[in-house]
Amino acid sequence: MSASKESVFVIGASGNIGADVVRGLVKKGIQTTAYVRDEKKTKELFKDELKTGHLTIAVGDYTTIDAYTKAIQGHTRLFLLVADFLTKPTTLIQNKYTFGRIAFEQGVRQIVDLSSVSVSLTGMVGIIGYAHTAAEEKLWALADDNPDQRSLVILRPGGFMSNHLWIDIHQIKHANKIVSCGSSSSKATWIDTRDVADCAVAVLSESVEKHDRNVYELGADCLSNEQRAAVFSKVLGRSITYEQQSMEDFYKALTNHNMSHSFAYELTQYSMGDICQTPTPQIAIIIGRPLRTLEEWLKENAKAFQ
């Protein structure tokens, strides 16, 4: 892709995935715009990238539609990451539809949407699946309204390895255990957020036609709770065990940390059984290397759990 002809607009640019998408695009010499709420914070976050001349900052949020409409003019691609749905799932659906519609109307040719593997596993069942399934349907309808000029690519990652930093870190640090309500043999699939970002960068930097209407699921390690504890034991150099909690206590612990009923209920439901998508080593074809394992991720983040 020629940097002189293409430019990418990134929504959600200051989060883990969005920031890595911005860095990856700038590294390739692609003109990139980061859409953010806090300009000062973003200038510090991307101080090196700003020096290249390939990064522009646009200030706005989900409510400043006029600012977004003006800022996205002249761009050919959009990375769409909307995470604001924990209390009201329809917010995610409406925001994705609004930003997607305006982008296509302003001449954007390709949207890369960050969705969730819940769409594949549960569909409309559960609040996460409902929000992302409904949002995907609206984006597909927009793309199919003018298929020759509008391309859509969906990324559906499994559980983020970085979730351990907010769900499990306290118990691991202070009690040397991982706690959930599933059995020791219950499995889940994990993915490093950097692999998600690298996949997005690859899609956004290659021809629109190559990836048009592809849905890419992303999952590296499918591990049982017991296997997960073993990985932590190996890397941290001390015994980390798995403890099965009652579903009532697990749900209560989540809601006590201000998690909404719907989100806590779905996480409880997931944790009780297998939510293991088929691992996707074939993503290496797109990103040019194997997906990172949980062990590799943990080695880089071990200090947080000490």
Q: What pLDDT is stored for residue 106 in this prediction?
A: 98
pTM, entire model? 0.94
Element at 124 (helix H, strand E)? none
Q: What is the mean pLDDT of residues 28-55?
A: 97
Phi, psi of 157 (to 5 degrees): -80, 155
- Going by pLDDT thresholds of 50, 70 and 90, the confidence category of residue 276 is low
67-126 pLDDT per residue, tens? 999 999 999 999 999 987 666 779 999 999 999 999 999 999 999 999 999 999 888 888
DSSP assignments along 260-301, one per residue: -HHHHHHHHHHHHS-B-PPP-GGGHHHHSSPPPPHHHHHHHH
d(CA 29, CA 306): 38
Beta strands in 168-234 (DSSP E): 177-180, 187-191, 215-218, 221-224
Q: What pLDDT is stored for residue 2 in this prediction?
A: 41
| C-beta of residue 261 within 8 angstroms of C-beta of residue 172 | no
d(CA 18, CA 23): 9
Q: List the structure tokens of 244.
A: 């099965």
